[in-house]
A and B are shown apart, each in its own frame.
Chain A
């Protein structure tokens, strides 16, 4: 402790007695630097999907023949994928709410469930690609595989995040006070789900709407 230390009355007057006792480090979660960082990472990644959707409709507008060239895509995998994504957002939300309430077992369970659903999603995406392998090479096929491919890449990152969060939760790193990793990872997962909704609306829904 410094010998020159004295309590500064002016500071205390200005900011009130409450402000003098401050949290240390990454406390809570929503006001951690990492959470804000994730927020802006999501915005920039979401922009990628925004530009992809723009590219899709721009190319569609300039298409000379039918769009999609071989008719609307089958929904055999896309629709289940959308539902899986929505369910995984719910299981993630459950993990997050449990964390706020200090119940750590459901946190681990929720993360594990989300991870399993995410893996199923990835598997279905691979099946979907196999089913779509017959697409005629061209602008549409390029867009179809690239948009789903970029979403797949984000999904894989999300699965790695979930794996790390699960490991950290099981190791006892996580608590209601030190909740930031889970809250930050959850934010990323919701983004992966939201991006899936956008991808589904663009690739699978819009052709049926004419």
Chain B
């Protein structure tokens, strides 16, 4: 009987300028099967990354349409386009969609696609887990959106405060959809985050030491570590509230001794780190892509990298600034106000680094550059209004007004949407092999930029004038009419800008100019392979000697060492990539990577059944689904000899054990 397993160790073959036969063999090993089976089973991080981005944009469009409906309702005083109940559902789903189903998943999409390419690897550490995190993201998003079909969508805002969210005041299934949907999505975020962290620890190319990591990697790594500690807070809060609503527990029921403020604490212990998780990877996109268009390396790499981490460390100590007006003790107020202001320092470091990069570089005014430069401006505006509300006295005046709505949109649209669209202009050639139109791109940027500021800047003023957030209408005598009309016009202009972007994508997919491997003459590893990259990413594992492997010939500061892109480890005995040591990235282990697998898809189906059954109170069904989930996990984790996870034959393990005895 032939041994199905793998040898315990071997000398990996090293190859110089691999020929077409090598590439064909790797293609056969790594490709996804065509047809439906491949669609369901693929674990290619690039396919998963694109799926993440496309799905997140679909949710961006849904959330955007909800916003436009809201703005139509608020365009003038006493309008009755929709009922207050419908308005509540729309602004809640707008927030939930943008915060949970667009902002973070779209960044996961970039990182899923780019990480192995940036790190010089062939896949993420856990390819099947990667597929699982996407499928669960999709399923939980659809789960949340099914609530619209019976007109019972969540209606208590994206942070879902009790007591309005309790059974007493909100008896329908609306809030249950929110609670179960968030727990469901939390699984996706958690497994995705673990995957990023372990990928960073393990699957970097030789020489990709931590001082050479692209800032996008720092940003996503920081966000992932934060998610590990932050997501449980909201998942737990949702579980407890769901128990309150379904089984009569009293975690948040004041009359039975449950403090309602506990919800706010748990939510914001998650919520504030989450906000940084939504922006740090996006800031990483800018830190990596902006220098390409400034024709120089990023100024202050080390400070920006450390600032990324510092922001998140502070980010765990600022949650109470969402609760300044709830009667928190003075000492806690002072401390959390101070951290909320101090957190501006690492962000400011990054802003100065970007400005210095532009200032000392030779900027090339591409569309991507425009988006990144626009982002810096919006970041400063949103950052300053953040520092303002970090001061307790100012916050007491402004909390729950449109000033805060303006702030959150400057921060999240400014720091997430603008870098994301800029990032797509930058990496679209890599994703598809074609360029986006620069002419349409300039229109795209300016319409979005003008529309955004026209729409959201006046919100600062409506807020200062006292307009509370979340009201479904207002009287003419309040004097908010003109500003609201301006905001509505601006939001439609902004939406037109997003539409121009979508048109550009559709047109360029068919008729865009062919991109070539490195159309921007960029410095990092993803541009060293073809556009789009082959399923195996790199025919040989590159060896990295600097932060800018493709700019070494022109940068004196990089030293004399040269990265090697066309010679390196071959690793072609099945799906393989190299694991390197943690800090210095020296070759450590030859990793056997799993092939395509349907397990993530079926596991997601079992979990979806579980959550739907819990929503419908179909407990026996839920029990069966839980059993199915357990079985799917067992099948998935069953050790495979081909992956070197176990001894190959029934007796070799015992034989070795016996040998050890002797």
Contacts and interface: CB of A to CB of B under 8 A. Distances in A.
A3 B589 contact: no
Contact of A175 (B198, B589, B637, B656): B656
B13 A5 contact: yes
A134 interface: no
Interface string A52-92: 10110011001111000100000000000000000000000
Interface string B1-20: 00000111111111111110
A130 interface: no
B645 A48 contact: no
Given A22-B9, A101-B660, A40 B590 contact: no
Q: Closest 4 CB pairs between A and B?
A: A25-B644, A102-B660, A173-B646, A139-B257
B579 interface: yes
A46 to B, nearest CB: 9
B6 A43 contact: no
B282 interface: no
A19 B588 CA distance: 7
Contact of B266 (A51, A164, A177): A51
B653 A23 contact: no
B243 interface: yes
A103 B661 contact: yes
A33 B198 contact: yes
7 contacts: A2-B19, A22-B578, A25-B6, A48-B235, A59-B258, A102-B659, A142-B240
Interface of B: 6-19, 21-22, 125-126, 129, 190, 193-195, 197-198, 201-202, 206-207, 228-229, 231-233, 235-237, 240, 243-244, 248-251, 253, 256-259, 262, 265-266, 269, 543, 564, 567-570, 572, 578-579, 586-592, 630, 634, 637, 639, 643-647, 649-654, 656-657, 659-661
A2 B589 contact: no
Contacts of B567: 8, 10-11
Contacts of A21: 9-11
A178 B206 contact: no
B250 A55 contact: no
A199 B644 CA distance: 38
Interface string A159-176: 010001000100111111
A59 B259 contact: yes
A143 interface: yes
B644 A20 contact: no
A104 B232 contact: no
Nearest to A107: B657
Contact of A40 (B197, B587, B589): B197
B400 to A, nearest CB: 23
A121 B231 CA distance: 29
B198 A40 contact: yes
Given A103-B660, A172-B654, A31 B588 contact: yes
Contacts of A26: 592, 643-645
- For chain A, which range describes its interface: under 10, 10 to 19, 20 to 34, or 35 or more residues? 35 or more
A24 interface: yes
A178 B251 CA distance: 46
Contact of A4 (B16, B197, B646, B650): B16
Contact of A102 (B14, B249, B656): B656
Main secondary structure of the interface of B (DSSP, over half): mixed
B124 to A, nearest CB: 10
Contacts of A50: 232
A54 B263 CA distance: 12
A172 B9 contact: no
A181 interface: yes
Interface string A11-41: 1001100011111111100010100110011
A19 B647 contact: no
Contact of A2 (B207, B543, B570): B570
B657 A103 contact: yes
A180 interface: yes
B595 to A, nearest CB: 14
Given A55-B240, A138-B257, A22 B590 contact: yes
B243 A142 contact: yes
A94 B8 CA distance: 25
B653 A173 contact: yes
A58 B259 contact: yes
A105 B660 CA distance: 12
Nearest to B266: A51
Given A138-B258, A174-B647, 20 more contacts: A2-B19, A7-B14, A8-B16, A8-B567, A21-B9, A22-B578, A22-B588, A22-B590, A24-B10, A24-B644, A25-B645, A31-B588, A33-B126, A43-B228, A47-B232, A51-B266, A104-B653, A138-B257, A174-B653, A178-B644
Contacts of B661: 102-103
A137 B589 contact: no
Interface string A127-160: 0000000000111111101100000000000001
B250 A15 contact: no
Nearest to B543: A11
B630 A138 contact: no
A36 B194 CA distance: 9
Contact of A47 (B12, B228, B237, B657): B228
A178 B590 contact: no
B639 A8 contact: no
Contact of B257 (A59, A103, A174): A59
A140 B257 contact: yes
A55 B251 contact: yes
A40 B652 contact: no
Contact of B15 (A6, A160, A168, A171): A6
B232 A44 contact: yes
Contacts of A48: 232, 235-236
B257 A172 contact: no
Contacts of B649: 172
B639 A22 contact: no
A1 interface: yes
Contact of B240 (A6, A63, A146): A146
B643 A25 contact: yes
B650 A171 contact: yes
A21 B10 CA distance: 5
Contacts of A146: 240, 243, 249, 251
B13 A22 contact: no
A150 to B, nearest CB: 8
Interface in A96-117: 101-105
B126 A37 contact: yes
B236 A22 contact: no
A173 B647 CA distance: 5
A151 to B, nearest CB: 13
B543 to A, nearest CB: 6
A187 to B, nearest CB: 14
Contacts of A171: 650
Contacts of B7: 24
Contacts of B190: 44
A181 B201 contact: no
Contact of B250 (A24, A33, A142, A181): A142
Contacts of B243: 142, 146
Nearest to A12: B14
A27 B644 contact: yes
Given A2-B570, A48-B232, A175 B647 contact: yes
A2 B13 contact: yes
A10 B656 contact: no
A9 to B, nearest CB: 9
Nearest to A58: B262
A47 B190 CA distance: 12
Nearest to B650: A172
Given A15-B587, A27-B8, A138-B250, A5 B15 contact: yes
A168 B8 contact: no
B233 A47 contact: yes
B11 A22 contact: yes
